[in-house]
Amino acid sequence: MIGRGPSGKAARFFAAALFSASFSFAAALVLAASSAGAYPGGTPDFQTDVAPFCAACHSSVSVEALEGAGERADKELSANKHLASVLQGQGPYEKLSESERALLAQQLQAVEANSKVELIDFPPQVKAGDSFNVTVVVTGGAGPVVGVGLVDRAHRWYARPASAAGWTVVGAPTVIGPDGKPQNEWLEHRPQRLGRKITYVNVTGVASDAVAGKYGKSKVIYTLQAPDRAGDYPLVGMYLFGTEKATKLGSTEHPIYGKQPLGGYGGKSGRVRFTPPIVITVK
């Protein structure tokens, strides 16, 4: 019988080992699934306000986005956080030759330079409580998914969703993909009873080609309601995007999840970019 004598101890040990192995295998599967299908593929499970601190593995394109961070700011720049690993052949980049790494770094810099975000069609002043539209236009990004949002300042760690500055999102944002057609699928994952008045969205169908120099454009139109109090209120457009999947050298093909960045999840190949801050006067 199990639990008596040497045979019982052996049985218990075998059962514990089997459970441990099964648990480890299941955990590995979950980790692999979440890694492969997480931020490199957008945020399919997160339909809510987002601030840039959530993209901790992404690299910054300017030191100004980390004002006050001291020496840490330089470490977060794409040249030091990501491209240095590529050029030095660290981790998954070891399989590439020196000339391939140099070419990949050059292509990634092209993707970064051509991936931009603009804040347009906003009024310089509005009346308290009035509603108005503002449009965030994004270019490039490796795709197939990029993140777009409105925040209160152009800072990696201090930015908050624009609603924290006093702006209220009126209705669901209008997402126009690179094909010029509206997108609703990502927003519709958020239950309608909770409302879809959020400051952050995913844009799908994005595809860039660093070699061909092809970079599409998408836009997100927000309707905002001004605060009830007069004053000057900030607004900034935020862009979260990848780089490696816009290149052949920087991407791999996963049998289940498709095209993935060579650096993998947490490989620092993503970027965070902001628009220059604007101030809208509420009267």
Complete domains list, the chain, with CATH: 52-282 (2.60.40.740)
Is 0.95 topped by the overall pTM?
A: no
pLDDT on residue 16: 41
- Both tokens of 105, joined, read 């770094």
- Residue type at 61 in one-letter notation: V
Q: Do residues 231 and 129 make contact, with C-beta atoms less than 8 angstroms apart?
A: no
Q: What is the pLDDT of residue 39?
A: 65
pLDDT score for 256: 84
Give yes or no for a contact between 147 and 239, defined as CB atoms under 8 angstroms apart.
yes
- Residue 254 pLDDT: 87
Instruction: Please state, in angstroms and rounded to a whole number, the distance separating the CA atoms of residues 111 and 86.
Output: 15
CA 68 – CA 158 distance, rounded (Å): 10
With H, G, I as helix, E, B as strand and everything else as coil, classify residue 252: strand
Residue 183: what residue type? Answer: Q
Kindly give the confidence (pLDDT) of every residue in the chain, 283 residues in length, as a single tens digit, with 9 standing for 90 and above.
233 334 444 444 334 443 343 333 333 333 333 333 346 678 898 999 999 998 989 999 999 999 999 989 999 999 999 999 999 999 999 999 999 999 999 999 999 999 999 999 999 999 999 999 999 999 999 999 999 999 999 999 999 999 999 999 999 999 999 999 999 999 999 999 999 999 999 999 999 999 999 999 999 999 999 999 999 999 999 999 999 999 999 999 988 878 899 999 878 999 999 999 999 999 9
Predicted confidence at residue 208, as pLDDT, reads 97
Predicted confidence at residue 35, as pLDDT, reads: 38
Query: Is beta strand 231-241 parallel, antiparallel or unpaired with respect to 145-151?
Result: antiparallel
Return the pLDDT at 100: 98
